[in-house]
Amino acid sequence: MKGLIFTYTLTVLGVVYGLLRPVYGASIYIALSILKPPALWHWSVSLGRYGFYVAVCSLIGWARQGFGQWEKLRKVRKVLYCVAIYAIIQWISGYASRYSADPRVWYHTRKLTNDMLMVLVVCSLINNFKELRVYTWVIVAAAGYVAYEMNYSWYIEGYNRIWYAEFAEIDNNGMAMIFAMVVPLALTLGLSEKRYFWKVASWIWIPFLGNAVFLAHSRGAMLGMCFSAPFLIWMLPDKRRTYWILAGAAIAILLLAGPSIQERFWSIFVDPNEQDASVNARFTSWSAAWRCIQANPWLGVGPRCWHYVGRSYGAISGLAVHNVFMQVTADSGVVAGLTLLGIYLLTIKYLFMERKTRSAYSWWYPYWAAGIAAGLGTGFLCSLFLSMERVEMPYYLAMLGLATVKVATVEDRTPAPLTTMEELELLRVSRSAPAT
């Protein structure tokens, strides 16, 4: 019952705010997209288009406000082009595919287009740090709560839900990827907060998120979490504190990970002759995907159509490519694969290149840049081993990254208020100046 009440309340608030304050209405759409209420509370919440209503109202409100502010996004326009082209090429590939009659092609294409459209809309709507902070909290809290439910299912009900059942058509690897990407964001969000209440409110989700990755038994996501450490060390301002935090996180991981999880993780690095069947199957799938790309370089075989042709190129029947970039390129062509790669890498590049300049004006920038870049780095590494192009979290973190650069650029152009000492010095100078 709590899930039903929460879903209806959130939908109503999203509709109202979408029409009146679309920047906050769109944040509720993001929350519903991550929570996926019909899957999270499947026993009480029926299938419905809750996010659709919120999205439509947010788009109406966005249009009423003049379609946002795009001129402040010039520095990151290349990523915006990648987002738009990536969505458009899905439709072109779908119409050109011999499997265009399959409704699953258009279900995937519409869903992906909705996500890309909301990414563009939110980037144009966020104009200050308060709004950026709201979106960051929404993403951390929503993903953290889903991870809490996965932990509750295992420790209280004795059922490893993330391992045995799909969550809204996302398997254990995809869910682990989502949780692993949010861990560094939750960490840096807590570091940026001044009050201990908000620090705890952010960090309390980290054990649930990290342990949910272990419950999923996803080696790619485990490796991805480790890969976030260099970004945090590189970009966070207080290096000593960062080392202590990462050391504590490593100890916690060792305590949480049981023998079976450790054994599964270390199987990544064993001799090729001793690797298990799943690792060897990935190499087979990658080789088959490469042959498919060579045969269909421009528009691919159609969105989500790899399962139709994989076997003819040497893949194991029914097995995905287990590499997002190769999967997208095989499905929708080279342009789609390159634009998806650009969404990841260009966002990280802009966050890194702006860190010194923006940190001088925006005290919060290093924390947001580090958390988002580390999350995208985690997602990038996971994507090399998983086929989860329908997971929204990489797009949402890229959205946060673009909005972060935008807000910091706006603050750079806004004169900072004088401190008390500066005001006194200015007054002393003005009084000591000779009268004219």
Q: Residue ranges per domain, the chain?
A: 1-67, 73-238+288-413
Half-sphere exposure of 358 (CA within 13 A, CB side): 24
The SS3 of residue 170 is strand
Contact 305, 105 (CB under 8 A): yes
Band of residue 276 on the pLDDT scale cut at 50, 70, 90: low
Given the structure tokens 């290149």, which residue do they identify? 353
Percent of the chain scored above 70 by pLDDT?
A: 87
Measure the N-to-C terminal CA separation of the chain; round to a whole number of Å.
77
Between CA 4 and CA 131 the distance in angstroms is 27
List Cβ neighbours of 67 (8 Å cut-off, separation of 6 or more).
124
What is the value of pTM for the model shown?
0.90
Question: What is the model's pLDDT at position 259?
Answer: 62
**Per-residue pLDDT tens over the stretch 1-45:** 788 999 999 999 999 999 999 999 999 999 999 999 999 998 888
Q: Are 109 and 331 in contact (CB under 8 A)?
A: no
User: By three-state DSSP, how is residue 296 classified?
Assistant: coil
3-class state of residue 167 by DSSP: strand
pLDDT digit string (tens) for 338-390?
999 999 999 999 999 887 666 666 889 999 999 999 999 999 999 998 888 88
DSSP codes joined into one string, 259-295? HHHHHHHHGGGS-GGG--HHHHHHHHHHHHHHHHHHH
Confidence band of 178 (pLDDT split at 50, 70, 90): very high
The per-residue pLDDT for 418 is 45
pLDDT band, very low/low/confident/very high, at 243 (cuts 50, 70, 90): confident
313-348: pLDDT as tens digits:
988 877 889 899 999 999 999 999 999 999 999 999
Span of 42-51, 126-135, 285-294 with lowest mean pLDDT? 42-51
Burial of 423 (0-12, 13-18, 19+ CB in 10 A): exposed
What was the pLDDT predicted at 413?
60
